[in-house]
Structure 1
Amino acid sequence: MAVHAHPDDESSKGAATTARYAAEGVEVLVVTCTGGERGDVLNPKYGEVTGGIEGMREVRRGEMAAAAAALGVRQHWLGFVDSGLPEGDPLPPLPDGCFALVPLEEASAPLVELVREFRPHVMTTYDPTGGYPHPDHVMCHRVSAEAFAAAGDPDRYVGRGEPWTPLKLYYNHGFSLARLREVHDAIVAAGGDSPFGDWIDSRQAREIPEREVTTRVECSDYFDQRDAALRAHATQIDPEGFFFAVPREIELAHWPTEEFELAESRVPVTLPETDLFAGIRPVDQGAEAAR
């Protein structure tokens, strides 16, 4: 179960990993907390979305369906409303009724119920910072951590299904500084223009701490599916933009994996890992029994 804040997050964070596991027979469910209704159109080639929040919600639901099909995964809407990304100094208040303002137990209840229904062995989500300071990303972490902790407790969320205890919780690592440096240096060495130079410099200047990478999943055979899923989010993703700026041959040679941080495990593990299901299934067991 991969829990994300908005439609498109599932395609930019751990997408090739979910595509790989789905292709191997693992039951994969992407959970999308909000409809992305307050997201801006970030693709300059797309044009305008009319109809306000409702119009954007409808467009992004269609995009999400196409992305899920590209990855070969199931997808479920948690049903909350996008909080938007506040800008300004001081920051404006968040909109009434948005996801980030919902009380934690109320926001977590439908996810707890879904965990008990789907019965995942592994959950993935964002670290406590949200990966970046979008209020919905931070809230996505909070509800995921709450569901992981509470779903197996029969005394909590009573009436929300039969208890189920997931075994491992991971945080996505989409753009580690180590990855950016490795790919940046390879592009420059090949005589190309790297999209990462300014980003690396700004992160170093801000001294953003790097979180531990415990698990690297080899998934290069599924980069094409990941890219197709990204392009499905046409309001958000420029098909000639940042996400496609790294030549495929450099990506395959220098960073054929996706990275995760094991946040909690209820089974014995040996780090580092190359499989999110390490410690859950025997090495020689097929993927069909995993979720």
Structure 2
Amino acid sequence: MAYRLMAVHAHPDDESSKGAATAAKYVAEGNEVLVVSCTGGEAGDILNEQLGEPATSRAHRDMAGFRRGEMAAAQAAMGIQHVWLGYHDSGLPDADKGETVRPGTFSTVPLEYSTEALVRVVRRFRPHVLVTYDENGGYPHPDHIRTHEVSMAAWRDAGDPTKYPEAGEPWQIAKLYYERTMNPVRFRTIFEALREREPDSPAVEQLGEWVERFADRPDLSTTHVDVHEYFDARDAALRAHASQVPPDSAFFHLPNDLAATLWPTEDYQLIDARVPTEVPETDLFTGIPPEQDDNA
């Protein structure tokens, strides 16, 4: 049978830095993968100083439209399905400067509204597996935290016929995961290998900052999906987000053939399951029987 995976992300580009190879792998194996982008990334800055013209001018004039084009290219690179939940990027306010999140953006919309929107997507796509962020959002961006909250609410409510009865036929998702690609052991392993191989590379300094940043974070991953054959698809998806990912980013400094020997997996934490399963796992669909294909 073909399984269905739904990954819920805050902004376009999050899906490419967190789980893109997994998505490409499952699509190649005949499954369906749907990425939900909760916001359009409109509040993002151009992080790639090498973007060049006329792209830079176009992105400055129409960041929302530019990032939609990037997302379409990333979608094609992975072979996935994609929907926009339709909310406006909250941005990342600087509390030290007295900045606050603008009203009407994703993180300020009442949770029941965005939950109903996501429940509609769940009931239409009927995923077996849901992947999202932990309660800290992976990092404390208001949209990432809200993505966690709305995903957890949809996990709880999508199968309940008394909740949002006009949002479609109830669908109970079988398994819930947190994305754990950004785990400290992976960063340290890759950093040490790159430092030995290319000690003068600017990526060594960047990766060192990541190692330090995530040093206190425990490795909570329970599920390790071998995706080394799809690292090229992941890289293509990342490069599609040209306004956000410079071509000399540390993401690309470790050759994929070496990465495949050092850390061939993308990693997840099993949070809840409505089917029997045991950890550790090597497949997000472990334990889901064929009859789970239609539980509505």
1:75 aligns with 2:86: no
Instruction: Quote the residue 1:32 is aligned against.
Output: 37
Correspondence for 1:218: 226
* Structure 1 residue corresponding to 2:257, chosen from 221, 238, 249: 249
1:197 aligns with 208
Alpha-carbon shift at residue 248 of structure 1 (Å): 2.2
Task: Using the TM superposition, name which of 269-278 and 194-203 deviates more.
Answer: 194-203
Question: Does the residue aligned with 1:2 lie in a helix, a strand or coil?
Answer: strand
CA positional deviation for 1:188: 2.7
- SS of the residue aligned with 1:79? strand
Q: Give the equivalent residue in structure 2 for 1:158.
A: 165
Match of 2:245 in 1: 237
Deviation at 1:245, TM superposition (A): 2.0
Q: Deviations over 1:176-229 (max 9, x none)?
A: 11001111222233354424223323443xxx3325110000001000001001
Change (3 A) 1:221 1:74: same
RMSD: 1.9
5+ residue gaps, structure 2, are 1-5
Amino acid paired to 1:196: L
Q: Deviations over 1:17-53 (max 9, x none)?
A: 000000101011111100000000001111434586x
Specify the alignment match of 2:12 in structure 1.
Answer: 7
Q: CA deviation at 1:249?
A: 3.0
Contact 1:49 1:56 in 2 (8 A): no
More displaced 10-residue stretch of structure 1: 20-29 or 89-98: 89-98
- The normalised TM-score by structure 1 is 0.92
1:20 aligns with 2:25: yes
Secondary structure in structure 1 of the residue aligned to 2:233: helix
Amino acid at match of 1:37: E
The one-letter amino acid of 2:248's match is E
Other structure's SS at 1:28 match: strand
Checking the alignment, whether the CA contact within 8 Å between 2:59 and 2:66 is kept in structure 1 is: no
Within 2, Cα distance between the matches of 1:203 and 1:25? 35
Counterpart residue identity of residue 222, structure 2: T
Structure 2 CA distance for partners of 1:148 and 1:49, relative to 1, 3 Å: farther
Task: Show the 5 A alignment for 1:34-113.
Answer: 34-47=39-52, 48-50=56-58, 55-113=62-120
* Contact persistence 1:186–1:250 (CA under 8 A): no
Q: Distance in 2 between matches of 1:28 and 1:159?
A: 25
- 8 Å contact kept, 1:183–1:250: no
**Matched-pair contact (CA < 8 Å) for 1:2–1:124:** yes
Give the whole-Å Cα distance in 2 for the aligned partners of 1:34 and 1:191.
37
Tell me the matched-pair count: 281
Contact in 1 for aligned 2:185/2:219 (Cα 8 Å)? no
> What displacement does 1:250 show?
2.5
1:128 is the counterpart of 2:141 = no
**TM-fit CA distance, 1:91:** 4.3
Query: In the alignment, what sits opposite 1:175?
Result: 182
| Distance in 2 separating the partners of 1:130 and 1:189 | 32
- AA at the equivalent of 2:212: D
Instruction: Give the gaps of 5 or more residues in structure 1.
Output: none
Deviations 1:141-191 (A, max 9, x none): 111110011000000112110000000011111221100111122223335
2:140 aligned partner, one-letter code? P
